[in-house]
Structure 1
């Protein structure tokens, strides 16, 4: 039993007739992780000198990247 690729499912959405999304949330998660790998260490470094700016950098994947990718793909 190996670990597989994570699949995200969002039900109750009105963006398609099936009321469920799989592709958008899954790609959103992948984009979130990719952005986090770059932005979290950078944000931690900036946080040492400018706390507010560092927090904004570290929050960017969750606040901007994931929602934009998830909402851009209606399936």
Structure 2
């Protein structure tokens, strides 16, 4: 039995941003940026949510609604 660590990759097919119609690098880096932003922003958003519900929700939604799409769309491959 062989063991190994696989490299996680996100694949987005059907895109028109490149001739191959598949993206790997952009979505993968977008996911990594999403995780880093989430580690920082979700606890802050949870704390803010205790006092200001809508502001806390916006902070917690920021990685998914702003960080991931902006990083993923900037890299066409």
**Structures share a fold, TM > 0.5?**
yes
> Aligned residues, how many?
75
Question: Partner residue of 1:24?
Answer: 26
Question: Partner residue of 1:59?
Answer: 61
TM-score by length of 2: 0.93
Higher radius of gyration, 1 or 2: 2
- TM superposition shift of 1:5: 3.1
Unpaired runs of at least 5, structure 2: none
Cα RMSD, aligned residues only: 1.0
TM-score by length of 1: 0.95
Unpaired runs of at least 5, structure 1: none
